[in-house]
Structure 1
Amino acid sequence: MAVLRTLLGQALRTTRLSQERTLREVSSAARVSLGYLSEVERGQKEASSELLASICRALGVRLSDVLRDVSETLSVIEPEPAPVLVPVAVPAMAGPGTTAAELRSVRRPVRDVVAAA
């Protein structure tokens, strides 16, 4: 699965390159070291929200736009989560004679439980 920091780095690098700007120019404007910005762009460092905001200001883009683009990319490549089965209301008659199949029949996906609430 893609790591969020990798997608953020790719988005920042794509923006910088589309503006035909160098790492040096953007790192200077963002007040971050060139090496650190390079690591962020390559997805090797997890940037704080403050650093991301500073880089976005230096690039002249809104952080919310970058995050939206990354979110859209992630939603396409992220696998659907498997349904989680949870036990719900075991029948009051459950006792020594209750079969495993009867007990399993009262489990259902969390989605169904939430939807019914």
Structure 2
Amino acid sequence: MVLLRRVIGDALRGRRQRQHRTLREVSTAANVSLGYLSEIERGQKEASSELLSSICDALGAQLSEVLREVSDTLALAEQLEGLETGRAVETPVAAAAAAGSARKVIPGTRKVTTPDTKITDGQVSVTVRHDSPLRTTLMATRNRRPGRTLERTAG
């Protein structure tokens, strides 16, 4: 499950870092404490809509742009989560890749591992790795050769 506050924090941090600005600069411009802004970026605090608007203004971004980015990220995470849980997914590429998900229990522990899942649509490859129940790593790479192939590998 992806937490909304973490995705919002990642989007805000990404915009700030792309502008090569410090937390101090943005917190001053947004009129919010440096520590609180840091907690928002790390997904530890949920910001009110007024505070999000103020932070977006300080970053020179429209709130709708940031929320659209967050929405797109959540949609991708939900599709990939559907692959791992075997739920029905909406995209044909993801649906074809969802077959055959295998989970293993490590002997002597309660830890359940899920093999890495790699999905390729010919132009972009996405690898999903569940590091823990609360941590999932997504890595996307652009393929050099165009073509519509679909493969799913477990590693």
Alignment TM class, shorter chain as reference = 0.5 to 0.7
Q: Computing the radius of gyration over CA atoms, which structure comes out larger, 1 or 2?
A: 1
Distance 1:73 1:22 in 2: 24
1:27 lines up with 2:31 in the alignment: no
Whose strand proportion is higher, 1 or 2? 2
Question: What's the CA shift for 1:36?
Answer: 0.1
After TM superposition, the runs of 4+ consecutive aligned structure 1 residues lying more than 3 A away are none
Q: What TM-score, normalized by structure 2, do the two folds share?
A: 0.51
Question: What's the CA shift for 1:38?
Answer: 0.1
Distance 2:74 2:30 in 1: 26
Question: For residue 68 of structure 1, what is the aligned residue in structure 2?
Answer: 68
Question: For residue 92 of structure 1, what is the aligned residue in structure 2?
Answer: none
Q: Where do 1:1-117 residues align within 5 Å?
A: 1-78=1-78, 79=81
Q: Percent identical across equivalent pairs?
A: 66
Question: What's the CA shift for 1:28?
Answer: 0.1
Question: 1:74-117, CA deviations, whole angstroms, 9 ceiling, x for partnerless residues?
Answer: 0111145x79xxxxxxxxxxxxxxxxxxxxxxxxxxxxxxxxxx
Unaligned runs of 5+ residues in structure 1 are 84-117
**How many residues matched?**
83
Secondary structure of the 2:72 match is: helix
The one-letter code of the counterpart of 2:33 is S
- CA RMSD across the alignment: 1.6
Q: What TM-score, normalized by structure 1, do the two folds share?
A: 0.67
Larger RCO of the pair (alpha carbons < 8 Å, separation 6+): 1
